[in-house]
Chain A
Amino acid sequence: MSAATLYGLSAAALVGIGLFGLITHPDPLRKILAFNLLGGGVFLLFGVIARRGAAAGFGGDPVPQAIVITGIIVGFSATALAVALLQRLFEENNRTAPQAEGSMQGAPTVSSHDGDRGGGD
């Protein structure tokens, strides 16, 4: 098995794990992490493609490498936006339902708009 094949299979595995997590986990924070795993898989695949296209004295095809750099920036901004939204949502829920704060540790809260954040941890 060549290195490229190995990396290609790892990329496929990462994509699979990420997609599975994105679909099955109800907790938004885990969804965001799963999105990053999925993104990592896609970027690794671009890396494999770059390596496979190595020619003319280059260690790799520069186009996929440029794409990965842009992709990482986009993925980073997406993660930042998602985490900011999640944090805002958490603050907002705590502010509108302060009585739920005490019960946060033990029993699940009964706050009405908690549907998206249930389960997970």
Chain B
Amino acid sequence: MAAIDAATAGGYLLVLALVLPYAGVFLSLILGGRYAERIALVLMPACLGVAIAIAAKVLQSGKALVYFVGGWAPPLGVALRVDGLSAAMMMTAAVVMGATALFARANFHQQRELPEARAPLMFWTLFQGIWGALNAVFIGGDLFNLYVALELLTFSAVPMVCLDGRAETLAAALRYLLFALMGSLLYLLGVALIYGTYGTLDIVLLSGRVGAEPTALVAAALMTAGLLAKTALFPLHLWLPPAHAGAPPAASTVLSALVIKASFFIVLRLWFDIMPGAMNQAAAQVLAALGSVAILFGSVLALRQARLKLLIAYSTVAQIGYLFLMFPLAIGSAWAMTGSSGAFTGGVLQAISHACAKAAMFMGAGLMAETLGHDRIAGLGGIARMMPMTTISFGLAGLSLMGLPPSGGFTAKWLLLMAAIQSGQWWWALVVLAGGLLTGGYIFRVLAQTVAEANEPAVQHLPVARGREGIVLAVALCSVLLGLVPISSFRLLHVGRFDMLAGGLL
């Protein structure tokens, strides 16, 4: 079993990943809205650099990066720990957040001559708060620290939903907050049970101790249920469509691409790192069944939406379902089987490629809505002529969501499909295929409208910003290019995983 990690060189990078965004938050609050944007834009490349440096170090050393806060080793102290999985998620977050920041400049720019407005200050402060909280989730090595990080994330994400202050976005934000709070308290209850039973909350120490005791099972069930409410897996998805569709485009991007992935990331930690011994096939089958319902139900509802942003939000509900298909395929079975490690890679790759694709879609939809002044799908006629770059980006992102080659989504779904067939669980393969068809349906529905002739002469509200279109295209290309990366290079995802170490496979 995994022994206690020693603090490794380069641990200061983990501290930087936490301190930089929060320094930005405090500076923005002190200096006010006139400087908040500049602070965020200065810190952005720094944070990206830190994420790249961490990923490079992890890949190079083949081991997790560990830092002990205050020099106290667990169980007395709190550890920060980055393995390959967290490094990959941090990179994803940095890329999507960076693109979103560049995209949001046009919407949340404080003009020098105008009196200071509220929205820019709030947006840039919350934006950096979300970034810091995401990093805190990805590097947390202690279950209670993860709870605090999750709450920080919720408190930054909820106000993002109601930045415009309209009554319906306020109602959506309140509903989101209540779901999230219920989720985090269930998680905390699980943490209490685990501490009461095992006397530690350190992930590395727990991984060697937790077995299939009744308390561990109850704790795991509570924590998983709480995290599912935050990840918006069916049937706990009710808060997601109004919240993600009502938020400003730049905020929806971050919420849909990254924020829900943070709680999913903790589910992965829980199931694969902390208590692989306590998890059984029956529970994994339940998770995957919920995921399957989410895929089918979310896709069908997406097909029926009249507004583009709601369609994309329901598509998120559906794509979250794919993330949970990996559990019965990757858990329990011998790691020597290529299928199960393939399922893990596929699930994580789905999270990463969905982040890029959904970011491109929400930003593209925002641009279309700004140009047309509305986001009714039936009124999109002629938009392909006005903004060809955005339409192509939407199509490319759709390619990844559908799972057509070459795209990150294809590789992810292919790996899941292969794992399903190899492990004899063919029913999940059917779900993957049906979900792909339905996704194709709703993407095509939008694209067909965009290339249709405008039935009324399309009114252009604002001139098209080519630079912003370029950002959307770049993010969409990321989701496609992920599919061209050879699968063997996703070895990064397995660096520092306990079960791999135990199996001697690394």
Q: Which chain A residues have a beta carbon within 8 Å of chain B's beta carbons?
A: 15, 18-19, 22, 28, 31-32, 35, 38-39, 41-42, 45-46, 48-49, 52-53, 63-64, 67, 70-71, 74, 77-78, 81-82, 85-86, 88-89, 92-93, 96, 113, 115-116
Contact A86 B189 (CB under 8 A): no
- Let me know if B181 and A64 touch, CB within 8 A: no
Q: In whole angstroms, how far apart are the Cα atoms of A71 and B143 in the complex? A: 13
B41 within 8 A of partner (CB): no
CB distance from B65 to the nearest CB of A (A): 25
Nearest neighbor of B192 in chain A, beta-carbon distance = A45
Partner of B165, one of A48, A64, A67, A92: A92
A22 B177 Cβ-Cβ under 8 A:
no
Chain B CB within 10 A, most for which of A31, A63, A78 = A78
Query: A42's contact among B148, B173, B192, by CB below 8 Å, is which?
Result: B192
Is A63 touching B165 in the complex (CB atoms < 8 A)?
A: no
Cα(A28)–Cα(B185), bound, Å? 17
Q: Is the CB of B171 within 8 A of A116?
A: yes
The answer to whether A42 and B182 touch across the interface, beta carbons within 8 angstroms, is no
Please name 8 pairs of A and B residues whose Cβ atoms are closer than 8 Å in the assembled complex, sorted by A: A28-B174, A38-B182, A46-B195, A67-B144, A70-B144, A85-B158, A86-B174, A115-B171
Give complex CA distance A27, B151 in Å. 23
> A-facing mask of B24-44, CB < 8 A → 1, else 0?
000000000000000000000
- Which B-chain residue is minimally distant from A78 (CB atoms)? B181
| Contacts known (A15-B189, A67-B144); A49 close to B195, Cβ less than 8 A | yes
Most chain A CB within 10 A, of B148, B188, B191, is at B188
A93-B144 contact, Cβ under 8 Å, with A22-B182, A85-B162, A85-B174? no
5 closest A-B pairs by beta carbon, nearest first, are A89-B170, A49-B196, A92-B167, A85-B174, A45-B192
Collect the chain A residues with CB atoms within 8 Å of residue B182's CB: 19, 22, 35, 38
| B177 and A78 within 8 A (CB) | yes
Do A92 and B170 touch (CB < 8 A)? Answer: yes
Bound-state Cα–Cα, A29 to B266, Å = 30
B contact residues around A19 at 8 Å (CB): 182
Task: Assess whether A71 is in contact with B155, with CB atoms less than 8 Å apart.
Answer: no
> Nearest Cβ distance between residue A60 and chain B, in whole angstroms?
13
Question: Are A113 and B168 in touch, CB under 8 angstroms?
Answer: yes
A46 with B162: CB separation less than 8 A: no
Report if B178 contacts A (CB, 8 A): yes
Contact (A77, B165) CB under 8 Å given A45-B192, A89-B171: no
- Checking A53, A67, A93 against B167 with a beta-carbon cut-off of 8 angstroms, the contacting residue is A93
The reply to whether A82 and B181 form a contact with Cβ atoms under 8 Å apart is yes
Complex interface: chain A residues within 8 A of B170 (CB): 85, 88-89, 92
Task: Contacts A85-B170, A89-B174 given; indicate if A35 touches B162 (C-beta within 8 A).
Answer: no
Check if B192 sits within 8 Å of A116, measured CB to CB: no
B residues near A48, Cβ cutoff 8 Å: 196
**Contact status A77-B155, CB under 8 Å:** yes
